[in-house]
Amino acid sequence: MSLPDTAPTALAERYPTLTLDRAWARYQEVRDRLPLAPRQGACRPAASLAEVAGDYDGFLFDSFGVLNVGETAIPGAADCLGALRAAGKRFCVLTNAASYGVETALAKYARMGLDVRRSEVISSRDVAMAHLDRGVLWGAICAAEDRLGDLPGQGFDLLAPGADWARAGGFLFLSSIRWNGDLQDRLVEALKARPRPVIVGNPDLVAPREDGLSLEPGYWAHDLQDRTGIAPGYFGKPFPEAFRTALNRMGPGRYAMIGDTPQTDILGGLAAGIETILVTRHGILAGRPVAPMLEECAILPDIVMPSIGS
């Protein structure tokens, strides 16, 4: 499998990347596999979250592109969280990062100076694990250091030396850090020979890093669906289980989903019946004219702001 329009950055030396133009086109191609948007927002402009925070009881934050880019906190993010906490606002980080568990995520936020507590993190990994069939032996596509300790049942690292792919009763896609086109071709052939369920813990096509857009499990999963006809189970934004989990934890109130990607954060928030805020300065839309892109995808947030911080 070849990758179109890969971006020539240092990031590509670690794992595959994609240009925004190709990622955007791919989101458009798979649009009918995503939830429907029951309404469109007004795209009201705001300078920062402080300008509108009083209108809400709390917020659901995306992580990449909103709080951080890769391993770097976005300027103003820490102060914004502190101000919300001081004002008694509820919030949680609803992240599609499925490569690691909550404790690892908390350590990462602490290193970046972000005051986020355990009860305030919901990852798509958690949501996917909660929906796994315990009777299936899962072959996990995961990071090398992932010990799968939160797997509710049996499974193994599909990429471990000597791993027998034929043993897998299903495939669990958590991380693309070790994945590539050759492995994708092998998985396609394995699924064609013996169809099995595929569960995807991160529906994102790409994620913003310091030097490019990394390919995420959602990209590979849609390719699998194209080539095998097997529709994976997607858990995470924009799919409903992630939002249901987050809103149940938050309790009654008026909430807004804050994210950088219309096709995941904003679409999922609209489908969940809450308001939405798109940030544009540091996420996948950074440096691009936002209005025509929103018009093209026809997913309109309630509020558009450069960043959550001032």
For the segment 204-261, what is each residue's pLDDT rounded down to a tens digit? 999 888 778 999 999 999 999 999 999 999 999 999 999 999 999 999 999 999 999 9
Pairing status of strand 155-157 against strand 138-141: parallel
- Show the CA angle centred on residue 14, arms to residues 147 and 206, nearest 5°: 85
For the segment 112-135, what is each residue's pLDDT rounded down to a tens digit? 999 999 999 999 999 999 999 999
Total Cβ atoms within 10 A of residue 152 = 12
Rounded to whole angstroms, the Cα distance separating 88 from 244 reads 22
Rounded to whole angstroms, the Cα distance separating 62 from 272 reads 15
Rounded to whole angstroms, the Cα distance separating 252 from 69 reads 31
> Could you list the pLDDT tens digit for every one of the 310 residues in the chain?
755 555 444 444 566 789 999 999 999 999 999 999 999 999 999 999 999 999 999 999 999 999 999 889 999 999 999 999 999 999 999 999 999 888 889 999 999 999 999 999 999 999 999 999 999 999 999 999 999 999 999 999 999 999 999 999 999 999 999 999 999 999 999 999 999 999 999 999 998 887 789 999 999 999 999 999 999 999 999 999 999 999 999 999 999 999 999 999 999 999 999 999 999 999 999 999 999 999 999 999 999 999 999 7
Query: What pTM value is reported for the model?
Result: 0.93
Structural domains in the chain, sorted by start? 43-124+248-305 (3.40.50.1000), 127-234 (3.40.50.1000)
Q: Please report which helix (H) or strand (E) contains residue 200, including its range.
A: strand 198-200
User: Which residues does residue 215 pair with via DSSP β-bridges, in sequence order?
Assistant: 206
Rounded to whole angstroms, the Cα distance separating 3 from 262 reads 23
Total Cβ atoms within 10 A of residue 296 = 12
